[in-house]
């Protein structure tokens, strides 16, 4: 069966107000043709959809969402061959439109509510009551005239959504508000216009003030919530803002301004001091110093010379240079970062499952409790007014919004903060799991060390050093291994001639087997020599005790006889010691995994404070070590950068790739450290701990608020207007707690 290429698209969804809405939209999208997986995020108001492009139809998806009572803004679609090309992102920001509209409704409601509130409260004071030339019946009619515009202008949003929900046999927060305020309003209207329907001995008070104040306070809460939510995604907005609007393109000696969207691969772009680099590329003329801190978290500017890569979004600090564009838009480094962060923010953490389950039944349960409270007070007090007020209070105090916002707001802020520090966390599950990590397995070369090995010494047996280099050079040039490159670089100093390479075989984890100038040549580890029956005893002649030597040793045999030993040194990164120290402070065990000899590995481990060393490992043996440590209750993180690290990165609970590593390693990992700094391993775990702590605090507040508030309202201890104020600030408090993550230090 042919493999299906799964694609992704992010769609803005309008009309979601609480966790119940999220569940309903997810259910609708799951039923759409071609949809494989859906994650709807209340905080970003977007749906992240994985789909099979062969069966997917965006128009049908739109129909399914609208049938559920919501709206979806469709992105621009371009044809690519016979299939539409769906972009991952729809860049339209609906949050700004929503915030402006909710603010407008709040202001209108506030202006209209003030006279209703003053009149309703004032009549309780004798002097105020005597000053009004109206009797009770006239005053009630005046309050009706003042309250009705509040219901039908700023308050209509609740009733419109309630009506749609009713048609679909569903309910959400808007249903609770509409039923509560609508009941109070209709009761007061009936009492005002048809007083003969009621016994005045039992009923003497209308609730226009409650209706108006509840709508105003909830609109105020929704406005504050919308403002706070817009701040949770500041990190992505800042990343998007890194892109300049135009670029200066050089063509046939003529400079022209092009919009960024019009840039193409191969264009020659001129960047002057202070300009933002408009796309990824290779410098072809000039040199400069570039600030990449917003992309990598690295504060120090980076020097760039001929043939160096430049990253779109970085800032050119001095020097004018020209570069050839190699990637634009979503294919650029910045585009990929934005895409990864948005995908991660749209994903769901396992901890959210409990909130989702409760949200699915929350509104029906609250309505049931409200009806039960109403019936209880009718039979207990025989007072319709008391029963109605308690019914309204239960509906208004309930807040499914806080449940829906508790997890995604903390995730959005945490993932954005991590991205600003050069830490890309690809999904919410990895972010949550990272806080449980108790063992970190680290590759040595390129992770703890700089990954730039250098030849420190060559010991030969019977041949001159230049002769050895002439023999092995063609094979080393064929290899992509960092050690091979270091040997080639070393040989360049001697300007040796190359022999003819006749056969080449890369023996992964061991070295190279080749036929050069008619001679059988082996270049690699002690294991390769032992497997091939090469006698290493002649090393004694040179008084070499390799078991005591801490360098990486590469053996060379020619026609079955040991010909040379090449010693390789790799310097330790400056921040490795601090990184291991930070992990130890968090009570995390550190283990080094390396293919190098034990003495060299132990020397590095001792210098930086590694707890345990696993040396002389082949790539598949690294995988076995990961599996070995995963047994039991351990949560394992593996940190690596090479192709041979990809299996271990995939197998670990949390795979962390160093940013300078290979594409395979970066693709396989759950977390990517863009600035190649091991200290950010501790930073990623710290962020995870902070975010999970904030999520737990948010969920605790959301649950406790409802657990305490609903019973108090049901037994008549909560005024509906106080309930509305508390309900409005419950969501704001959850978002505000999440925003505290911005101030925490990594």
Q: Which one of 3.40.50.300, 2.60.40.10, 3.30.70.100, 3.30.300.30 gives the CATH number of domain 7-92?
A: 3.30.70.100
Higher pLDDT, 401 or 690: 690
What pLDDT is stored for residue 493 in this prediction? 86
What ranges do the domains of the chain cover?
7-92, 98-232, 244-327, 331-425+676-746, 438-450+573-652, 454-569
Say if CB 557 and CB 526 are below 8 A apart. Answer: no
Find the range with the poorest average confidence among 78-92, 138-152, 473-487, 565-579: 78-92
Say if CB 55 and CB 34 are below 8 A apart. Answer: yes
What pLDDT is stored for residue 654 in this prediction? 92
pLDDT > 70: percent of the chain:
89
Cα atoms in the Cβ-side hemisphere of radius 13 Å centred on 272: 6
Say whether pLDDT at 87 is over 50.
no
What pLDDT is stored for residue 88 in this prediction? 43
Say whether pLDDT at 201 is over 50.
no
Per DSSP, 464 falls in state -
Q: Is 234 a catalytic residue?
A: no
> In the chain, what is the straight-line distance between the N-terminal and C-terminal CA atoms, in Å?
47
Find the range with the poorest average confidence among 276-290, 333-347, 548-562: 333-347
The fold of the 454-569 domain, in CATH, is Calcium-transporting ATPase, cytoplasmic domain N (3.40.1110)
Which one of 443, 641, 645, 670 is the catalytic residue?
443
What pLDDT is stored for residue 79 in this prediction? 47
Higher pLDDT, 542 or 605: 605
How far apart, in whole angstroms, are the C-alpha atoms of residue 568 and residue 452?
Answer: 10
* Cβ-proximal residues to 713 (8 Å cutoff; 6+ apart), any chain: 373, 390, 393, 394, 396, 397, 723
Q: Tell me what percent of the chain is helix, strand and coil, each rounded to the nearest 5.
A: 50, 20, 30
Average pLDDT in the 543-565 region? 77
Mean pLDDT in the chain?
A: 83
Instruction: Evaluate whether 244-327 and 438-450+573-652 have a shared fold.
Output: no
pTM exceeds cut of 0.75:
no
pLDDT band at 298 (very low <50, low <70, confident <90, very high): low
Higher pLDDT, 384 or 368: 368
pLDDT band at 697 (very low <50, low <70, confident <90, very high): very high
How far apart, in whole angstroms, are the C-alpha atoms of residue 716 and residue 700?
Answer: 24
What pLDDT is stored for residue 92 in this prediction? 47
Higher pLDDT, 462 or 345: 462
What pLDDT is stored for residue 360 in this prediction? 72
Crossing angle (nearest 10°) for helices 333-346 and 234-241 = 160
Q: In the sheet that 561-569 helps form, which strands lie side by side, from edge to edge?
A: 454-460, 561-569, 552-558, 519-524, 511-516, 501-507
The fold of the 438-450+573-652 domain, in CATH, is Rossmann fold (3.40.50)
pLDDT band at 135 (very low <50, low <70, confident <90, very high): confident
3-state secondary structure 679-743: HHHHHHHHHHHHHHHHHHHHHHHHHHHHHHHHHHHHCCCCCHHHHHHHHHHHHHHHHHHHHHHHH
315-326 pLDDT, tens digit each: 898 889 999 999
How far apart, in whole angstroms, are the C-alpha atoms of residue 237 and residue 93?
Answer: 10
Say if CB 647 and CB 623 are below 8 A apart. Answer: yes
What pLDDT is stored for residue 454 in this prediction? 85
629-668 pLDDT, tens digit each: 887 788 999 998 765 677 888 888 998 888 754 455 557 7
What pLDDT is stored for residue 354 in this prediction? 73
57-76 pLDDT, tens digit each: 888 888 888 888 788 877 65
Say whether pLDDT at 441 is over 90.
yes
**CATH classification of 244-327 is 2.70.150.10, yes or no?**
yes
Q: Which long-range contacts (CB under 8 A, 24 or more apart) does 115-122 make?
A: 115/146, 116/143, 116/146, 116/147, 116/150, 116/208, 116/209, 116/212, 116/213, 117/209, 117/212, 117/213, 119/143, 119/146, 120/208, 120/209, 121/209
Phi-psi region of 134 (alpha: psi -120 to 50; beta: other; left: phi over 0): beta
241-254 pLDDT, tens digit each: 778 888 999 988 88
Neighbours of 299 (CB within 10 A): 9
What pLDDT is stored for residue 351 in this prediction? 78
* Cβ-proximal residues to 623 (8 Å cutoff; 6+ apart), any chain: 647, 648, 651
Say if CB 487 and CB 553 are below 8 A apart. Answer: no
SS3 638: strand
């Amino acid at each position: 069966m042919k493999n299906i290429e799964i694609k992704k698209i992010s769609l803005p969804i309008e009309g979601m107000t609480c966790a119940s809405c999220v569940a309903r939209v997810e259910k609708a999208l799951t039923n759409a043709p071609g949809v494989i997986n859906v994650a709807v995020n209340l905080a970003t108001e977007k749906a992240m959809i994985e789909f099979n492009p062969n069966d997917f139809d965006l128009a049908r998806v739109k129909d399914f969402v609208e049938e559920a009572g919501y709206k979806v803004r469709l992105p621009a679609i371009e044809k690519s061959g016979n299939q539409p090309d769906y972009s991952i992102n729809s860049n339209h920001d609906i949050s700004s439109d929503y915030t402006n509209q909710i603010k407008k409704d709040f202001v209108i409601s506030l202006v209209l509510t003030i006279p209703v509130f003053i009149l309703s409260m004032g009549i309780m004071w004798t002097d105020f009551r005597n000053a009004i030339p109206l009797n009770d019946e006239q005053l009630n009619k005046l309050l009706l005239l003042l309250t009705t515009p509040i219901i039908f202008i700023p308050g209509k949003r609740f009733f419109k959504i309630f009506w749609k929900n009713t048609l679909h046999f569903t309910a959400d927060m808007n249903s609770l508000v509409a039923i509560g305020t609508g009941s109070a309003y209709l009761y007061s209207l009936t009492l005002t216009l048809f007083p003969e329907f009621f016994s005045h001995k039992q009923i003497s008070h209308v609730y226009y003030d409650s209706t108006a104040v509840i709508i105003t306070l909830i609109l105020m809460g929704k406005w504050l919530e919308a403002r706070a939510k817009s701040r949770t995604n500041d990190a992505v907005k800042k990343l998007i803002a890194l892109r300049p609007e135009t670029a200066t393109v050089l063509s046939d000696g003529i400079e022209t301004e092009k919009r960024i969207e019009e840039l193409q691969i191969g264009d020659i772009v001129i960047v002057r001091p202070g300009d933002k680099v408009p796309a990824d590329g290779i410098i072809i003329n000039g040199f400069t110093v570039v600030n990449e801190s917003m992309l990598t978290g690295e504060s120090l500017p980076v020097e760039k010379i001929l043939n160096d890569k430049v990253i779109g979004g970085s800032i050119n600090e001095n020097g004018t240079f020209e570069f050839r564009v190699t990637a634009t838009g979503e294919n650029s480094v910045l585009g990929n970062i934005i895409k990864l962060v948005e995908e991660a923010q749209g994903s769901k953490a396992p901890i959210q499952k409990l909130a989702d389950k409760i949200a699915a039944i929350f509104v029906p349960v609250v309505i049931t409790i409200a009806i039960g409270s109403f019936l209880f007070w009718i039979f207990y007090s025989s007072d319709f007014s008391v029963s109605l007020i308690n019914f309204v209070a239960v509906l208004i105090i309930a807040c499914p919004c806080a449940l829906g916002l508790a997890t995604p707001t903390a995730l959005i802020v945490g993932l954005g903060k991590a991205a600003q520090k050069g830490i890309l966390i690809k999904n919410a599950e990895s972010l949550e799991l990272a806080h449980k990590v108790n063992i970190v397995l680290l590759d040595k070369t390129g992770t703890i060390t700089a990954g730039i090995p250098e030849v420190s010494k060559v010991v030969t047996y019977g041949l001159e050093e230049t002769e050895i280099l002439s023999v092995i050079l063609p094979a080393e040039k064929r290899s992509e291994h960092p050690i091979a490159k270091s040997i080639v670089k070393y040989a360049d100093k001697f300007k040796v001639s190359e022999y003819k390479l006749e056969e080449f075989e890369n023996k992964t984890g061991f070295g190279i087997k080749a036929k050069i100038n008619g001679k059988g040549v082996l270049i690699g580890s002690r294991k390769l020599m032992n497997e091939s029956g090469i006698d290493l005893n002649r090393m004694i002649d040179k008084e070499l005790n390799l078991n005591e030597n801490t360098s990486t040793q590469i053996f060379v045999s020619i026609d079955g006889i040991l010909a040379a030993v090449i010693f390789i040194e790799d310097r330790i990164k400056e921040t490795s010691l601090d990184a291991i120290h930070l992990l130890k402070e968090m009570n995390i065990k550190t283990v080094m995994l390396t293919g190098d000899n034990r003495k060299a590995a132990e020397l590095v481990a001792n210098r930086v404070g590694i707890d345990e060393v696993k040396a002389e490992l082949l790539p598949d043996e690294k995988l076995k070590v990961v599996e070995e440590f995963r047994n039991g209750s351990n949560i394992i993180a593996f940190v690596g950068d090479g192709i041979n690290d990809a299996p271990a990165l995939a197998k670990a609970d949390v795979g962390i790739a160093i940013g300078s590593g290979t594409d395979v390693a970066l693709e396989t990992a759950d977390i990517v450290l863009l600035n190649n700094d091991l200290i950010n391993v501790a930073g990623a775990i710290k962020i995870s701990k902070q975010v999970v702590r904030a999520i737990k605090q948010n969920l605790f507040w959301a649950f406790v608020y409802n657990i305490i508030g609903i019973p108090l309202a049901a037994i008549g201890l909560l005024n509906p207007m106080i309930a509305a104020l508390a309900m409005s600030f419950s969501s704001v408090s959850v978002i505000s707690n999440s925003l505290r993550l911005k101030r925490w230090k990594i």
